Amino acid sequence: MLEAADLSASYGRHRALDGVSLSVAPGEILVVLGANGAGKSTLLKALAGLVPSPGARIRLDGRDLASLPAHRVVEAGLALVPEGRGLFGALTVRENLLLGAYPARARAGEAARLEGVLALFPRLTERMGQAVRTMSGGEQQMVAIGRALMSAPAILALDEPSLGLSPLMAGELFRALARIRADGIGVLLVEQNARRSLAIADRGLLLDGGRVVGGGGGNGARGRPGRAARLSRRRSSRRGGLPTFRMSDHRSTYLRLAFSTVGRVEVHLFCEKGVDLGGDVGHADQLGVAKHRHIRSTT
Q: How does pLDDT run across 211-234, given as a tens digit for each residue?
A: 998 877 665 544 443 333 344 444
Question: CB burial class (10 A; 0-12, 13-18, 19+) of residue 11?
Answer: exposed
Q: What is the mean pLDDT of the chain?
A: 78
pLDDT exceeds 50 at position 258: no
Query: In the predicted model, what is the mean pLDDT of residues 149-174?
Result: 93
Looking at mean pLDDT, say which of 84-88, 153-157, 208-212 comes out highest: 153-157
pLDDT value of position 108 = 86
> Is residue 181 within 8 Å of residue 9, measured between CB atoms?
no
Q: In 3D, which of 18, 31, 37, 26 has the Cα closest to residue 1? A: 26
**pLDDT above 70 as % of the chain:** 72
Which residues, 6 or more positions from 44, have their beta carbon under 8 angstroms from its beta carbon? 80, 82, 157, 159, 188, 190
For residues 275 and 284, what is the distance between their CA atoms, to the nearest angstrom?
A: 22
When pLDDT is averaged across residues 158-174 and rounded to a whole number, the result is 92
Widest CA span of the chain, in angstroms? 59
Helix axes 137-149, 110-120, angle to 10 degrees: 150
For 33, phi and psi rounded to 5 degrees? -110, 160
Q: How many residues does the chain have?
A: 299
Q: Distance between CA atoms of 298 and 217, rounded to whole angstroms?
A: 21
167-176 pLDDT, tens digit per residue, is 999 999 999 9
Task: Round to whole Å and give the CA distance between 80 and 158.
Answer: 6
Check: CB of residue 53 under 8 Å from CB of residue 9.
Answer: yes
Residue 240's region, left for phi above 0, alpha for psi from -120 to 50, else beta, is left
Question: Domain-by-domain residue ranges, the chain?
Answer: 86-151
Q: Which residue has the higher pLDDT, 12 or 230?
A: 12
**What per-residue confidence (pLDDT) applies to 261?**
27
Reply yes or no on whether the pLDDT at 88 is more than 80. yes
With a pLDDT cut of 90, the percent of the chain lying above it is: 62
Output the pLDDT for position 141: 94
Whether the pLDDT of residue 29 is over 80: the answer is yes
How far, in Å, CA of 293 to CA of 285, rounded?
A: 15
Is pLDDT at 202 greater than 90 in this prediction?
A: yes
pLDDT at 71: 92
DSSP per position, 97-134 = HHHTT-SHHHHTTHHHHHHHHHHHSGGGGGGTTSBGGG
Q: Is 249 left (phi over 0), alpha (psi -120 to 50) or beta?
A: beta
Range 162-192 burial, b when 16+ CB lie within 10 A, else e: beebeeebbebbbebbeebbeeebbbbbbbb
CA 85 to chain centre: 13
- Which residues partner with 207 through β-bridges? 34, 212
